């Protein structure tokens, strides 16, 4: 009898072990079968929808480089602030002393997100780790981070991701593939004072990717649930196209709905930012930097720009763009079907510089009146602009068009590519008075702007938007 019981018990244990193994195999097989590099256009469009609709985001370059803020050994260091370790040829051991001073006591995540929201921005992308290798989150993979290595001791990304979630703002992370601090990254051959390049560089870099960068990405995705991973520093020769494709697959496997820029792979052609024609390169959107595409693109793209000349804070950089220029960039990008990622470089204390805050506030006032011409819009099929100072956008899924003029108009505005619906109303956004208009097949659409409206145009008008219901001709 006893043997029978043992025999039955053995059978039960065998069955449980076998079914668990089967289950694991199924999950494993499942993960293996989803090849995210072969995504259907429907699935891609669904994943990109919020990003395309939101249109306008805040880039934040913030890290240890805000401490020297462009100066080293009492001397100005040329170039963008976040490259001071390279441009200043600062030895790692010395740069780490800056990290030991990083104590942004004035940092307030809710205030940053409030400023972003009041600007009319809909998403944020912040440098989790820039090329200098310093992590602004509490990493368990390394102690070279804001909690273990700096006096501040608090997890900035935790606070910021929480504030974004509470205020309905999408949260993105910029993450540098190039790493000047990690010994195996070796790509810090960018720093002249490095030991001579190893011959087995690529093996070391592959180890850094697998044993350091990917584990850090996993903790970022698991703990802060970012909506975007914005890679950068992909140009280092040690990083290969194959690794780029694997990296894309790895991140999407961790979170299938995440968006990833084209700097995850090797397809980007310079600062123009779009992938070389070859479809084989990974990445969901192109990344023109400090420039706007000359013409509209059928691909998704996001132009990232600074407000002055540096991404990371630099105390001597006062070359601020005017709000007018920033608003015109947003309009230009939108009319060509792109997104605009506008940068701020907070100080070492954790404050967004006042000139940036001023401009963001003014942009917010303009978008408060004219945002419907920017958000949830699509580019026109043919003429997204007329001349150099008139742009057009179209409300998604409707026959509503927006004519955006960048300069004070005359009393008669003539448009060549729109035919209003019969008896429809044409308005200037921000004004209630319907405008007189007439349409002639030859001459096009003529809108009359009354003098009492014309005289309200002032230096803070930046651009006017006319709402026209009709069709593109």
Handedness of CA 348, 350, 351, 353 (dihedral sign): positive
Cα–Cα distance measured from residue 241 to residue 247, given in angstroms and rounded to the nearest whole number? 10
Residues near ligand FHN (CB under 6 A), total: 7
Out of 289, 300, 302, 317, the only residue in the binding site for ligand FHN (CB under 6 A) is 289
Identify which range of 62-70, 76-84, 104-112, 138-146 contacts ligand FHN by CB under 6 A: 76-84
Return the residue of 54, 82, 300, 317 that touches ligand FHN, per CB under 6 A. Answer: 82
Q: How far is the CB of 328 from ligand FHN (least distance, A)?
A: 21
Interface with ligand FHN (CB under 6 A), residue from 232, 234, 265, 284 = 232
Site string for ligand FHN, 370-409 (x = CB under 6 A): ----------------------------------------
For residue 57, give the nearest of 164, 145, 187 by alpha carbon.
164
Sheet holding 228-232, edge to edge: 259-260, 228-232, 170-176, 123-129, 56-60, 339-344, 302-305
Is residue 285 within 8 Å of residue 317, measured between CB atoms? no
The C-alpha torsion from 331 through 334 and 339 to 345, rounded to 10°, is: 0
Q: How far is the CB of 311 from ligand FHN (least distance, A)?
A: 5
* 289 vs 317 by CB, closer to ligand FHN: 289
According to DSSP, residue 212 is labeled I
Contact 325, 338 (CB under 8 A): no
CB of 356 to ligand FHN, least distance (A): 16
Closest contact distance (angstroms) between CB of 82 and ligand FHN is 5
DSSP labels for 216-233? HHHHHHHHH--SEEEEE-
State yes or no: residue 304 binds ligand FHN (CB under 6 A).
yes
CB of 128 to ligand FHN, least distance (A): 12
CB of 327 to ligand FHN, least distance (A): 21
Q: Which of 471, 464, 376 is nearest to 413 (CA)?
A: 464
| Other residues' Cβ atoms within 10 Å of the Cβ of residue 390 | 22
| Rounded Cα distance, 92 and 134, in Å | 11
Q: Return the residues of window 153-172 that contact ligand FHN according to CB under 6 A.
A: none
**CB of 215 within 8 A of CB of 141?**
yes
Rule CB under 6 A: choose which of 311, 375, 391, 392 binds ligand FHN: 311
Nearer to ligand FHN, 149 or 311 (CB): 311
Give the nearest distance from C-beta 304 to ligand FHN in angstroms: 5
Interacting residue with ligand FHN among 69, 80, 109, 344 (CB under 6 A): 80
Stretch that binds ligand FHN, among 9-17, 30-38, 75-83, 187-195 (CB under 6 A): 75-83
**Interface with ligand FHN (CB under 6 A):** 80, 82-83, 232, 289, 304, 311
């Amino acid at each position: 009898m006893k043997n029978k019981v043992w025999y039955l018990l053995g059978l039960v244990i065998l069955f449980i072990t076998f079914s668990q193994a089967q289950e694991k195999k199924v999950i494993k097989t499942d993960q293996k079968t989803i090849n995210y590099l072969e995504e259907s256009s429907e699935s891609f469009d669904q994943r990109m929808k919020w990003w395309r609709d939101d249109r306008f985001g805040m880039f934040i370059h913030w890290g240890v480089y805000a401490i020297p803020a462009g100066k080293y050994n009492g001397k100005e260091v040329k170039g963008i602030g976040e490259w001071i370790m390279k441009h200043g040829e600062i030895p790692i051991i010395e740069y780490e002393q800056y990290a030991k001073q990083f104590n942004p006591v004035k940092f307030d995540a809710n205030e940053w997100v409030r400023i972003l929201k009041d600007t009319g921005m809909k998403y944020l992308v912040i440098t989790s780790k820039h090329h200098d290798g310093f992590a602004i989150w509490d990493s368990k993979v390394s102690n070279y981070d804001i909690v273990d290595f700096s006096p501040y001791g608090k997890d900035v990304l935790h606070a910021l991701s929480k504030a974004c979630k509470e205020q309905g703002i999408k949260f993105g992370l910029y993450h540098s593939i190039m790493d000047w601090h990690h010994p195996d990254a070796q790509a810090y051959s960018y720093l002249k004072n490095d030991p001579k390049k190893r011959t087995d560089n690529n093996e070391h870099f592959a180890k850094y990717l697998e044993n350091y960068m990917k584990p850090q990405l996993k903790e970022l995705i698991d703990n802060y649930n970012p909506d975007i991973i914005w890679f950068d520093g992909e140009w280092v020769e040690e990083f290969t196209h194959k690794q780029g494709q694997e990296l894309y697959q790895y991140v999407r496997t961790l979170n299938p709905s995440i968006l990833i820029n084209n700097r995850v792979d090797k397809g980007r052609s310079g600062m123009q930012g779009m992938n070389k024609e070859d479809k084989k390169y990974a990445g969901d959107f192109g990344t023109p930097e400090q420039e706007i595409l000359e013409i509209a693109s059928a691909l998704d793209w996001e132009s990232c720009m600074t407000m002055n000349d540096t991404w990371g804070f630099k105390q001597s950089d006062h070359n601020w763009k005017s709000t007018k220029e920033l608003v015109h960039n947003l309009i230009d990008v939108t009319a060509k079907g792109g997104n605009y990622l506008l940068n701020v470089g907070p100080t070492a204390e954790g404050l967004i510089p006042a000139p940036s805050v001023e401009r963001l506030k003014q942009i917010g006032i303009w978008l408060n009146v004219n945002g419907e011409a920017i958000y949830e819009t699509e580019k026109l099929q043919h003429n997204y602009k007329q001349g150099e100072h008139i742009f057009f956008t179209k409300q998604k899924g409707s026959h509503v068009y927006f004519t955006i003029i960048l300069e004070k108009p005359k009393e008669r505005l003539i448009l060549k590519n729109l035919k209003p619906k019969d008896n429809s109303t044409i308005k200037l956004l921000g004004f209630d008075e319907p405008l007189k208009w007439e349409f002639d097949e030859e001459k096009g659409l003529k809108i009359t702007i009354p003098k009492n409206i014309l005289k309200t145009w002032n230096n803070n008008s930046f651009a006017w938007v006319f709402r026209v219901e009709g069709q593109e001709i």
